[in-house]
Amino acid sequence: MIIVMSPEATDQQIDGVVKRIKDAGLDANISRGTERTVIGAIGNERKLEPEYFDALPGVEQSMHIVKPYKIVGREWHKADSIIDIKGIPLGGKQIQIIAGPCSVETIDQMEKAAQATVDAGCRMMRGGAYKPRTSPYAFQGHGAEGLAMFRKAADRHNLPIVTELMDVRTIDHFLEYGVDVIQIGTRNMQNFDLLKEVGKLNIPVVLKRGMSATISEWLMSAEYIAAGGNHNIIFCERGIRSFETYYRNVLDVTAIAVLKKETHLPVIVDPSHAGGKAWMVPALSRAAIAAGADGLLVEMHPSPCDAWCDADQALTPLELKNLVGTLGAIAGAIGRTI
């Protein structure tokens, strides 16, 4: 069972609800979001009924939740959530394209990438300062220095930045440089200690699907973040691993529809990591938007041939601009805008 407190609920009223839960022999988990406090009753819910709580001061709504993902589930939150990223809505009628290079390389590269992002009509920028690589000998990113370069280039165009967090020990760097959206990569989807720490922050989080994760596992990972109080979560489908070797991953378009049914949170797609080849990105992007995705996370490099990582899947600035132009027609057909 979960009990949703009103925005005006006091600590005393929250304590009253927790006491009633514990008096019934259950434990309570308190998740304090920016707008709502949600209290989860943990244990045998048959001992509790919504009527036990609805009359208590400060309670907005209470209900039994059958599914294990409670806060991120649509059962208690019927309306679609819209995540505000420096005034840019993600999850509403307007579809957001987040573009930029795989990794932060040089200040010149990032300045050119930022200009190309704006020229293509995109409102947010991506880039990796810390890079999880299969080989320990591959470029691992510039770290804090990369965040500084990224921030400087993006600020010239007032672009919010999206970048991957790999280690709790670097959170202070992310806060220092004002990262607007934290990305949790596929390899860390079930790094529960990292998810718990991100749950304590008031920063939107893009949670990428693990390369072999089920949708239920993905939703439960999001629940870890939400249980900590951070409800600003964005799911990102980036393709799952299969037996096929022609392309990098299998883009699970079905997952978009399933998530739209199971959760109120926004869903975006990374067509670059799904296909692994630049020529596949436009087709996969169009499919994602048609299926109901709220946005795209697209790799673009000023000079893909010179990219330090994932060169094969990066679009050129012109290719990005042409792609965004074609997506407008698909968005308009389903009542949305780019």
Q: What is the predicted pLDDT for the residue at 286?
A: 97
pLDDT of residue 300: 97
pLDDT on residue 145 = 94
Is the domain of 187 the same as that of 324?
A: yes
Across the range 215-224, mean pLDDT stands at 96
**pLDDT level of residue 65 (50, 70, 90 thresholds):** confident
Helices (H) and strands (E) in the chain, counts: 11, 14
For residues 114-134, average pLDDT: 92
pLDDT for position 327: 96
Tokens 């920016």 appear where?
Answer: 34
Least confident of 61-70, 213-222, 240-249, 280-289: 61-70
Using alpha carbons, list the distances in angstroms from residue 104 to 48, 55, 146, 287.
52, 54, 6, 28
- State percent of the chain over pLDDT 70: 99
Q: Supply the range of the domain harboring residue 274.
A: 83-333
Q: Looking at the structure, do residues 16 and 150 belong to the same domain, yes or no?
A: no
Tell me, yes or no, whether 92 and 59 share the same domain: no
Same domain, yes or no: 326 and 262: yes
- Is it the case that residue 78 has pLDDT exceeding 90? no
Q: Residue 213 gets which letter from DSSP?
A: -
Q: How far apart are CA 333 and CA 313, in angstroms?
A: 28
The answer to whether residues 18 and 152 belong to one domain is no
The reported pLDDT for the residue numbered 68 is 80
Least confident of 44-48, 115-119, 266-270, 317-321: 44-48
- pLDDT score of 114: 98
CA neighbor of 238 nearest in space, from 207, 201, 197: 207
Cβ neighbours around 4 below 10 Å, total: 19
Rounded average pLDDT over 132-145? 80
Indicate if the pLDDT at residue 47 is higher than 80: no
CATH number (domain holding residue 118): 3.20.20.70
Helix H or strand E segment including 118: helix 107-119
Identify the CA nearest to 321 among candidates 141, 30, 128, 115. Answer: 115
Tell me if 135 is assigned to some domain: yes
100 and 175, same domain (yes or no): yes
Is 69 contained in some domain? no
Instruction: Say if residue 101 is in the same domain as residue 211.
Output: yes
What's the CATH code of the domain at 28?
3.30.70.1140
Residue 58 sits in the same domain as residue 92: no
Q: Which residues of 108-120 are buried (b: 16+ CB within 10 A; e: fewer)?
A: ebbbbbbebbbeb
Q: What is the pLDDT of residue 63?
A: 82
In a domain, 68, yes or no: no
Structural domains of the chain, count: 2
Q: Give residues with Cβ within 8 angstroms of 44, minimum separation 6.
A: 25, 26
